[in-house]
Structure 1
Amino acid sequence: MTDQRFREAVELYGDMVFRLAYSYLKNRADAEDVMQETLLKFYVEPRGFESPDHEKHWLLRVAANECKKLLRSPWRRRMDFLDEAAEAAAFDQPAQSELFQQVMSLPPKYRAAVYLHYYEGYSVKETGELLGAKVSTVQTWLMRARGQLKIKLKEAEA
């Protein structure tokens, strides 16, 4: 891979990989580490990609796997991280900020499914492939996430 092609890919996919990692980890530093590790693997990947969609799918899959690996690490399980969701994004409307906060309070598998399906526009099948889950599992995660969000948003409204 040429350096120019790598720079183009970083510009095109870097934010997307970071957002997926942040949705899993809720920690900016860890999300940046995952993004860097994913892009490094992309740079040294010896085989080419069939299409831009194949390239994007590969990057998201590697990022999801890196996040899962980090979440399984014994060190992370013993640490108590501060929630950084408040600093992550600034929104024009309070409703958008509230929704973001509620999405970030979901369990990691629900956050990742919601992000890939609703924000990145992947189908349920594609989301399942990226997360290494069956279609029915992803449908269940999305249904449960919507249910939890509905309850949380009603509570916040009251």
Structure 2
Amino acid sequence: MRESNNELRSEEFMDEAIAAHQGAVYRLALSQTRSTADAQDVMQDVFIKLMRSQVPFRDSDHLRAWLLRVTINQCRDLARQAWHRRVEVVDEPDMGSTVTQDEAVELLMEHPVWRAMDALKESDRSVLHLRYVEELSIPEIAEALSCTQVAVRVRLRRARTRLRQMMVAQCEQQSADVPSFSQQTGVIR
């Protein structure tokens, strides 16, 4: 594919790879890091690794699987960094500026499924994301996660069960927080 080991991938190859896969890489990074800034950093690091990579790709599916695997690894590396372990993230004060995040991302982060997935382990989030957001098949997920298809099926079942439990708990919490009609009107039954 290339003439020299020191040579970077062609600009044309990188442009095509970024155009075809940046959305998937960003969505996965956002689902793992839960931060738009971190997701953008991860996406940049992933494409830099691709540019420097010596891996010959069989086809676009192989490239996509490689990118998703590297994205997961970059998210794990980011979470392991000392800075992330020591720094407590707090909401930034409003300085009267416009919204810093894309409105669609804000709406997504407020969605009950997003909040429930936030409570899941990283491995459960990644397998659910690859299956239902990226719509990868079981064999494609197995390749992206470097595990067997049986392991993917087990992880999916476990992750769906945990997500369901989180969603039920959220619904029960919300219904407990909302006063009943009789409490609101003062009517005693």
- With the shorter chain as reference, the TM-score category is 0.7 to 0.9
- Retained in 2: the 8 A contact 1:114–1:145? no
Q: 1:81–1:6: structure 2 CA closer, same or farther, 3 Å change rule?
A: same
Opposite residue 21 of structure 2, the aligned amino acid is Y
Instruction: After TM superposition, list the pairs within 5 Å mapping 1:1-158 onto structure 2.
Output: 1-82=9-90, 87=101, 90=104, 97-132=111-146, 134-135=151-152, 136-156=154-174
Q: Moved runs in structure 1, 4+ residues, more than 4 A?
A: none
- The structural deviation recorded for 1:48 is 2.1
In 1: Cα distance, 2:127 partner to 2:164 partner: 11
Q: Which has the higher helix share?
A: 1
Amino acid at match of 1:22: L
Q: What is the deviation of 1:101?
A: 3.5
Amino acid at match of 2:141: T
Structure 2, gaps ≥5 residues long? 1-8, 93-100, 179-189
Match for 2:112: what amino acid?
A: E
**TM-score by structure 1 length?**
0.80
1:106-135 deviation per Cα after TM superposition (whole angstroms, max 9, x unaligned): 333332222111111123454354345533
Shift of 1:138: 4.1
Q: Which residue of 1 aligns with 2:187?
A: none
Count of matched residue pairs? 155
CA distance in 2, matches of 1:83, 1:61: 30
- Distance change >3 Å, CA 130–CA 147, structure 1 → 2: farther
Q: Deviation at 1:27?
A: 1.4
What's the RMSD between the two structures over aligned residues? 2.9
| CA drift at 1:38 | 0.5
Moved more, 134-143 or 24-33: 134-143
Q: CA deviation at 1:26?
A: 0.9
Contact 1:26 1:83 in 2 (8 A): no
Q: Does the 8 Å contact 1:90/1:97 carry over to 2?
A: no
Structure with the bigger RCO (C-alpha within 8 Å, sep 6+) is 1
Q: Which amino acid aligns with 1:118?
A: Y
Structure 1, unmatched stretches of 5+, are none
